[in-house]
Amino acid sequence: MPDLLANLGLGFSVALGLQNIALCFLGCLVGTLIGVLPGVGPIATIAMLLPITFGLDPVGALIMLAGIYYGAQYGGSTTAILVNIPGEATSVVTTLDGHQMARQGRAGIALGTAAIASFFAGTVATVLIAALGAPLTKLALIFGPAEYFALMVMGLAFAVVLAHGSVLKAVAMILVGVLFAAVGTDLETGQERMTFGFSFLTDGVDFSVLAMGLFGIAEILRNLDQTETRDVVRERIGRLLPGLADIKQAAPATLRGTAIGAILGILPGNGAVLGPFAAYTIEKKIAKDPRRFGRGAIEGVAGPESANNAGAQTAFIPLLTLGIPPNAVMALMVGAMTIHGIVPGPGVMTKNPNLFWGMIASMWIGNLMLLIINLPLVGVWVRLLKVPYRLMFPAILMFCSVGIYSINSLPTDVMLIGFFGLMGYLLIKFGFEPAPLLLGFVLGKLMEEYLRRSLTLSRGDPMVFLERPVSAVLFIIAFAILAAALLPSLRKGRDEVFTEA
């Protein structure tokens, strides 16, 4: 304990230096900005800002880059709530209830709840990293391919629960999502799959492209059809910040979300992506009236948002203690460290205590700054909803196009968002929900990879998934969730399986 305090003291003395505070603020500000802009992700931005950090000392540079990363997580939920566009895989869930709240004139409450829940989660996760970062690394090493496969199967079981309409349609969407994920070059053999000879499909479909199309463009098309609902959004604005009753309702969900997100974030195989989904599923399962979910339940914002942010913070554990990047942004951080002459790996904590503890302390400071930046902005964002829709949607369309283009500099990516937009429009018209598809897409790629790897390692013996205790437990949970989701509706005369619940 005294060790921890001394370490944190060192960290804060580094992070509270004038230059580092300024860099942290700058990072959070830029992060919020790019998070809010649909399509522009932290990857492109961090890559572009890397050269600017050359002149800084490594600690300051990394503090700023980390600020961009978690600032973008904050900003991403703003777009998800206001215009129903998930900027990142982790804010897909926030669109479900967050945007519904906005449609009911509770956009301010949703945004405020998201900010407060994220701040709480960030604080807890920071303490967790400081106290348990090193021992928690062991958890990362328990997880082999078989465990990750089980984890992904569990995630897909969550996706079934996620849907609030027909279970059958949700399952179909998940399968379509996993099928889409298979497009592109096969990892194991290098063969092209379902690319039809198009070179722009060799690397598969980018998540942002699919998300911008299915959510961003499709949402525009849907809104153009229904003039009434979108006017409701902009006329009724209501309270700006959550009241005591709202906070009371959101608090338990925030606690649970934080715990789930923090644990999943530690896994270097990008487990953080599951956090919000898992949190949402749990909230929906334990709620007295699950039917509120998907119709603007505040727990459906607080739980996933806290899980998202906790995961974003604890994802630094594998990076800082093992040197293993769990996702593309963290891989970029590895590059940034290397450029600054720090080789990431197990030695960083002992060799560069300034960097390690300084970054951890700056995360908490950054979270505080984000709260301070974001709460006053809630008013601005909400007023943005007053902009007439006939001006709003061309603007959204252009931002989506610019953002998508900036990721890979490929015009074909921009065309694809048009294609997926049309597809999303059709899906909505036929009563399908795009969220399970997107989840299937995110998990599908990882799932197939881990399945094939575990079977190659076990030389084709499928028992490997049940012989390993962690994987067996995860499979049992997955089947329990599926049974809980399917059985009641099957018993009730099967109608719910087929039609809207």
* Residue 25, CA distances (Å) to 42, 425, 458 in order: 16, 39, 49
CB 92 → another protein: shortest distance, Å? 20
User: Where does this chain touch another protein (CB under 8 A) — which range of 11-19, 219-227, 238-246, 301-309?
Assistant: 219-227
Restricting to residues 445-464, name those near another protein by CB under 8 A: 448-449, 451-453, 455-457, 459-460, 462
Structure tokens at 56: 């800084």
Residue type, 64: M
Options 18, 189, 289, 463; binder of another protein; rule CB under 8 A: 189
Q: What is the dihedral of CA 428, 282, 142, 1, to 10 degrees?
A: 130
If one asks whether residue 375 binds another protein (CB under 8 A), the answer comes out as: no
CB 362 → another protein: shortest distance, Å? 20
What is the spatial distance between Cα 472 and Cα 320, in angstroms, rounded to a whole number? 29
Helix (H, G, I), strand (E, B) or coil at 29: helix
Nearest residue (CB) to another protein, 388 versus 469? 388
If one asks whether residue 389 binds another protein (CB under 8 A), the answer comes out as: yes
Options 12, 354, 418, 470; binder of another protein; rule CB under 8 A: 418
* Residue 113, CA distances (Å) to 103, 163, 289, 487 in order: 16, 22, 20, 34
CB 244 → another protein: shortest distance, Å? 30
User: Where does this chain touch another protein (CB under 8 A) — which range of 15-23, 284-292, 353-361, 408-416?
Assistant: 408-416
Nearest residue (CB) to another protein, 145 versus 304? 145
User: Where does this chain touch another protein (CB under 8 A) — which range of 13-21, 88-96, 141-149, 252-260?
Assistant: 141-149
CB 250 → another protein: shortest distance, Å? 27
For the chain, what percentages of helix, strand and coil (3-state, to nearest 5) are there? 80, 0, 20
Restricting to residues 337-356, name those near another protein by CB under 8 A: 338-339, 341, 343-348
What is the spatial distance between Cα 90 and Cα 224, in angstroms, rounded to a whole number? 27
Q: Which residue has the tokens 């379902």?
A: 194
How would you label 133-165 residue by residue, b for 16+ Cβ within 10 Å and e otherwise? beebbebbeebbbbbbbbbbbbbbbbbbbbbbb
- Residues 160/167, Cβ–Cβ less than 8 Å: yes
CB 255 → another protein: shortest distance, Å? 30
Restricting to residues 80-139, name those near another protein by CB under 8 A: none
User: x/- string (CB under 8 A) for another protein, residues 57-86?
Assistant: ------------------------------
If one asks whether residue 34 binds another protein (CB under 8 A), the answer comes out as: yes
CB 199 → another protein: shortest distance, Å? 7
